[in-house]
Amino acid sequence: MSGAVTVGVIANPASGRDIRRLVSGASVFDNGEKGNMVYRLMVGLAAVGVEHVLMMPAASGLYDSLERTLRAAAPAIAAEHRPMPDLELIEMKVRHNARDTIYAISEMEHRGVAAILVLGGDGTSRIVARHCARDIPLCTLSTGTNNAFPEMREATVAGIATGLVATGRIGDEALRREKILRVGLNGDAHHDCALVDVAMNSERFVGARALWRPREISEIVVSSARPDAVGLSSIAGLLDPTSRDAPHGLHIRLAPPEDAEIVLTVPLAPGLVVPIGVNEVNRIEPGASVELTAGVGSVALDGEREIEISAADEVEVRLDLAGPLTIDVSAAMREAARRGLLNGSL
């Protein structure tokens, strides 16, 4: 495939299936639909000249669904002489954890992909952003639970937009440099990161990872906050809406509702609305650090517990405006319309 434009695809088969399906009204995003989404992405990519797709292997029925869809569509594709990219699975040992994504990203970088499409939730997007080169554009599609970072988009359109960027037909007009929260631990300033929110909570062990008990959460740092979001960032969004391109973040200290200065009604998860007490909210400027209050518990990154800590540990969070590069699908399609890039046969 020398010289062919290649786009990477990372589809997380575990996204949209965490414990919040048991403790709230969150729906299951099944892997059959994820496989169909990958097919639709490929159709969109092919329509604008992408010739090769390099995909992370996916179990739990995701790839089986994609293969069935490709097989069923093959006669119509051949009869109509429609292009489709060649699909290649990365040769790798599948461990069914985050190491799969990390390895796949390294292989995609080595193979020189022009962009990466990510199907997952906030956690999947965080792992990709942490380990991906800063100059590779990401298009993140929501197949998770709360999904404050990836967007709910029709995959066909996302494929077209990503293909326009990957083939060089559209450039900076459709690209956005995202904010990121750098999480330091005991002097290691780059211990981990979060794209949307970092939360200190009293649950000592990582366990099922997802947060859903608000009384265990003592403070939150967010890079952006929408009042119409679901999850921890919606707390900040109801106090001080902060867009993804706003040059600041927020730090919020929580309290039990009966002891708080402000009590908000918050959609903490799909089908779960709870009162949240707030005692303090402050803006964070770029480069500024917030030291989280020491205590026994864990630190959650983008809604999932990731770092177990003791009272002796020092945790700080720094807002960095130089995060991952993402594709703005709406901006890409507006630019395509303005320049007539989809007028006629390509």
Domain range 6-178+324-339, CATH architecture = 3-Layer(aba) Sandwich (3.40)
| Residue 18 or residue 293, greater confidence | 293
pLDDT of residue 203: 85
Q: How far is CA 203 from CA 206, 213, 272, 295, in A?
A: 8, 10, 20, 10
Tell me the C-alpha distance between 289 and 286, whole Å: 9
pLDDT band at 307 (very low <50, low <70, confident <90, very high): very high
For the chain, how are helix, strand and coil distributed in percent, rounded to 5? 30, 30, 40
Answer left, alpha or beta for residue 106, where phi above 0 means left and psi between -120 and 50 means alpha: alpha
- In this structure, are residues 36 and 69 in contact, taking their beta carbons and an 8 Å threshold? yes
Identity at 255, one-letter amino acid code: A
Residues facing residue 276 across a β-bridge: 264
pLDDT per position as a tens digit, 179-204: 999 999 999 988 999 999 999 998 87
Tell me whether residue 151 is exposed, middle or buried, using C-beta atoms within 10 angstroms of its C-beta: 0 to 12, 13 to 18, 19 or more: middle
* Mean pLDDT score, 319-341: 97
pLDDT band at 209 (very low <50, low <70, confident <90, very high): low
For helices 31-47 and 155-166, angle between their N-to-C axes, nearest 10 degrees: 40
| Residue 178 or residue 28, greater confidence | 178
CB count in 10 Å sphere of residue 208:
15
CB count in 10 Å sphere of residue 122:
28
Domain ranges of the chain: 6-178+324-339, 180-320
Short-list 306, 270, 304, CA closest to 21: 270
DSSP state for residue 216 in the 8-state scheme: G
pLDDT band at 239 (very low <50, low <70, confident <90, very high): very high
pLDDT per position as a tens digit, 4-45: 899 999 998 876 545 444 444 555 677 888 999 999 999 999
Residues facing residue 291 across a β-bridge: 316
Tell me the C-alpha distance between 87 and 272, whole Å: 40
pLDDT of residue 15: 66
CA 318 to chain CA centroid, nearest Å? 19
Report the mean per-residue pLDDT for the chain. Answer: 90
Task: Find the range with the poorest average confidence among 100-109, 110-119, 144-153, 281-290.
Answer: 144-153
| Residue 114 or residue 24, greater confidence | 114
- Tokens standing for 248? 């600041």
Contacts of 236 (CB under 8 A, 6+ apart): 197, 220, 222, 225, 242, 250, 252, 281
pTM of the model: 0.91
pLDDT per position as a tens digit, 250-291: 999 999 999 999 999 999 888 889 999 999 999 999 999 999
CB count in 10 Å sphere of residue 291:
10
